[in-house]
Amino acid sequence: MCGIVGYVGPRQAALIVLGGLKKLEYRGYDSAGVAVLHANGGIEVERAVGKLSNLQERLYQKPLVGTIGIGHTRWATHGGVTEFNAHPHVGRNGRVAVVHNGIIENYAELRQEMAAEGISFNSETDTEVAAHLVDGYLAGGADLLTAVQRTLPAIQGASAFVFLSPQEPESLVVARLGNAGGIVIGIGDGEMFVASDIPAILEYTRNVIFLENRQMARVTRAGVAIFTFEGKPVQARVHTIPWDPVSAEKGPYRHFMQKEISEQPRAITDTIRGRVDFHRGRVVLDSVPLTPSEAQKLDRVIIAACGSSYHAGLVGKFMLETLARVPVEVDYGSEFRYRNPLITPTTALLAITQSGETVDTLAAMEAGREYGAKLWSIVNVIGSQAHRLADGYILMQAGLEIGVATTKAFTASLVDLYLLALHLGQLRETLPAEVLRRAVNDLARLPDLVGRVSEPLPIYDELAEIFFKREHFLFLGRGLNYPVALEGALKLKEISYIHAEGYPAGEMKHGPIALIDEVMPVVTVAPRDNVYDKMISQMEQVKARNGTVIGLLQEGDEIARSKADYVLEVPAAPQFLAPVLNIIPLQWLAYAMAVRRGADVDQPRNLAKSVTVE
Ligand code: G6P
pLDDT digits (tens, 9 = 90+) for 344-381: 889 999 999 999 989 899 999 999 998 899 999 999 98
Same domain membership, residue 366 and residue 469: no
Whether 607 shows a pLDDT value over 90: the answer reads: no
Residue 141 confidence (pLDDT): 94
Looking at 406, 437, 453, which one is the last position of a domain?
Answer: 453
Distance 275 CA to ligand 1 centre (A): 25
**What would the mean pLDDT of 287-294 be, rounded to a whole number?**
94
Shared-domain flag, residues 473 and 402:
no
Quick one: 264 and 180 in the same domain?
no
Same structural domain, 359 and 495? no
Domain count, the chain: 3
Question: Does the structure show a pLDDT above 80 at 570?
Answer: yes
Mean pLDDT of 385-406: 90
134 within some domain: yes
Residue 241, pLDDT score? 82
Q: Are 218 and 171 in contact (CB under 8 A)?
A: yes
Decide which of 346 and 613 is more confident. 346
Mean pLDDT in residue range 495-509: 89
In a domain, 610, yes or no: no
**Does residue 181 carry a pLDDT above 90?**
no
The catalytic residue positions are: 2, 609
Is residue 65 over pLDDT 90? yes
Q: Are residues 511 and 434 in the same domain?
A: no
What is d(CA 71, CA 13) in angstroms, rounded to the nearest whole number?
10
Q: What band does 610 get if pLDDT is binned at 50, 70 and 90?
A: low
Q: Is the pLDDT of residue 586 over 70?
A: yes
Does residue 544 have a pLDDT over 90? no
535 within a domain of the structure (yes/no): yes
Q: Are 313 and 353 in contact (CB under 8 A)?
A: no
Contact between residue 584 and residue 450 where contact means Cβ atoms under 8 Å apart = yes
Residue nearest (by alpha carbon) to ligand 1 atom 7: 307
Q: Return the pLDDT at 387.
A: 92
Q: How does residue 441 score in pLDDT terms, banded at 50, 70 and 90? A: confident
Q: Rounded to 5 degrees, what are φ and ψ at 573?
A: -140, 155
202: Cβ below 6 Å to ligand 1? no
pLDDT score recorded for residue 228 = 96
pLDDT band, residue 221 (cuts 50/70/90) = very high
Region of 66 (left: φ > 0; alpha: ψ -120 to 50; beta: rest) is left
Domain boundary among 197, 218, 243: 243
Q: Residue 246 — pLDDT band, cuts 50, 70, 90?
A: low
Q: How far is the CA of 398 from the centre of ligand 1 (A)?
A: 14
Interior/surface letters 519-536, b for 16+ CB within 10 angstroms, e for the rest: ebbbbbbbbbbebbeebb
Compute the distance between CA of residue 549 and CA of residue 566 in angstroms, rounded to an integer. 7
Residue 74 inside a domain? The answer is yes
pLDDT for res 347? 95
Say if residue 15 is exposed, middle or buried (CB neighbours under 10 Å; 0-12, 13-18, 19+): middle
* Cα dihedral 421, 422, 423, 428 sign: positive
Same domain, 229 and 268: no
Is residue 417 within a helix (H) or strand (E), and if so which, with residue range?
helix 408-428
pLDDT of residue 79: 82
Residue 266 to residue 250: CA distance in whole angstroms: 16
| 73, 136: one domain | yes
Residue 422 pLDDT greater than 70, yes or no: yes
57/132 same-domain check: yes
CA gap 130, 90 in Å, rounded: 9
- Which residue segment(s) compose the domain that 386 sits in? 256-453
User: Any idea what the CATH number is for the domain that residue 300 is in?
Assistant: 3.40.50.10490
**Residue 204 within any structural domain of the chain:** yes
Same domain, 70 and 207: yes
| Percent of the chain with pLDDT strictly greater than 90 | 70
pLDDT one-digit tens code per residue, 525-541: 999 988 898 899 889 98
Q: Percent helix, strand, coil in the chain (nearest 5)?
A: 40, 20, 40
Q: What's the confidence (pLDDT) of residue 509?
A: 79
| Residue from 601, 609, 610 to probe ligand 1 pocket by mutation (most atoms less than 8 Å from CB) | 609
Averaged pLDDT of the chain: 91
What residue owns the CA closest to ligand 1's atom 15? Answer: 353
Question: Do 271 and 335 share a structural domain?
Answer: yes
Ligand 1, atom 1, lies closest to the CA of 609
Report how far apart, in Å, the C-alpha atoms of 123 and of each of 84, 280, 397, 417 are: 5, 63, 41, 46
Residue nearest to atom 8 of ligand 1 (CA): 609
Residue 249 DSSP code? S
Q: What is the CATH number of the domain that holds 117?
A: 3.60.20.10
In this predicted structure, the answer to whether residue 12 has a pLDDT above a threshold of 90 is yes
| Phi, psi for residue 587 in degrees, rounded to 5 | -65, -45
Per-residue confidence band for 428, with pLDDT thresholds at 50, 70 and 90: very high
Averaged pLDDT for residues 65-73: 96
What is the pTM (predicted TM-score) of this model?
0.75
What whole-number distance in Å separates Cα of residue 558 and Cα of residue 555?
Answer: 9
Query: Using a 6 Å cutoff on CB, does residue 257 contact ligand 1?
Result: no
Q: What is the pLDDT of residue 334?
A: 86
Mutate to test the pocket of ligand 1, among 358, 490, 583 (most ligand atoms within 8 A of CB): 358
Res 613: pLDDT: 60
Provide the pLDDT confidence category of residue 247 given band limits of 50, 70 and 90.
low
What sign has the CA pseudo-torsion 534, 538, 539, 541? positive
Burial class (CB in 10 A: 0-12, 13-18, 19+), 78: middle
Q: Lowest-pLDDT range, 133-142, 537-546, 585-594?
A: 537-546
Start-to-end CA span in the chain (Å): 10
| Ligand 1 and 379: CB distance under 6 A | no
State mean pLDDT over 266-272: 90
Residues 218 and 291 in one domain: no
Q: Residue 613 domain-assigned? A: no
Please give the number of the atom of ligand 1 that sits closest to the Cα of 413. Answer: 16
pLDDT of amino acid 170: 95
The per-residue b/e assignment along 558-568, b for 16 or more CB within 10 angstroms, e otherwise, is: eebeebbebbb
DSSP one-letter code for 520: S
Q: What's the CA-to-centroid distance between 355 and ligand 1, angstroms?
A: 7
Q: Is residue 238 part of a domain?
A: yes
Same domain, 429 and 516: no
Ligand 1 site, residue 384, Cβ cutoff 6 A = no
